Amino acid sequence: DGGITQSPKYLFRKEGQNVTLSCEQNLNHDAMYWYRQDPGQGLRLIYYSQIVNDFQKGDIAEGYSVSREKKESFPLTVTSAQKNPTAFYLCASSVTGGDEKLFFGSGTQLSVL
């Protein structure tokens, strides 16, 4: 089945630790996105990538890093510089173009120990 997979579903981070959230898609989509969602709030764009080996900062990129070495993978690292990382993280992908819809993963809940 085609789709977008995020792992793990739940993740715990110790203070000062970097953690990496996985996002994989087998939809052959060029564009991939990472969003952060705090309780009761909307989605905020962290990073997005339109093509392999290229990515752009969103509105809240500080304390996060990404890579796009393969078309199907777009991992997000939450670094120790992100002082308030507890949130629900969503990955999405799409074909590029305004007439194309986004497909979302089921999300990763990150909490701080």
Partner 1 sequence: DAKTTQPNSMESNEEEPVHLPCNHSTISGTDYIHWYRQLPSQGPEYVIHGLTSNVNNRMASLAIAEDRKSSTLILHRATLRDAAVYYCILRDARYNNNDMRFGAGTRLTVKP
- H or E stretch at 23: strand 19-25
Q: How far apart, in Å, are the Cα atoms of 12 and each of 5, 86, 92? A: 19, 9, 22
- Under rule CB under 8 A, how many of the chain's residues touch partner 1? 29
Q: Which C-beta is closer to partner 1: that of 59 or that of 62?
A: 59
Give Cα 75 distance to the centre of its chain: 7
Within 2-61, which residues bind partner 1 (CB under 8 A)?
31, 33, 35, 41-45, 48, 50, 56, 58-59
Give the binding site for partner 1 (CB under 8 A).
Answer: 31, 33, 35, 41-45, 48, 50, 56, 58-59, 88, 90, 92, 94, 96-107
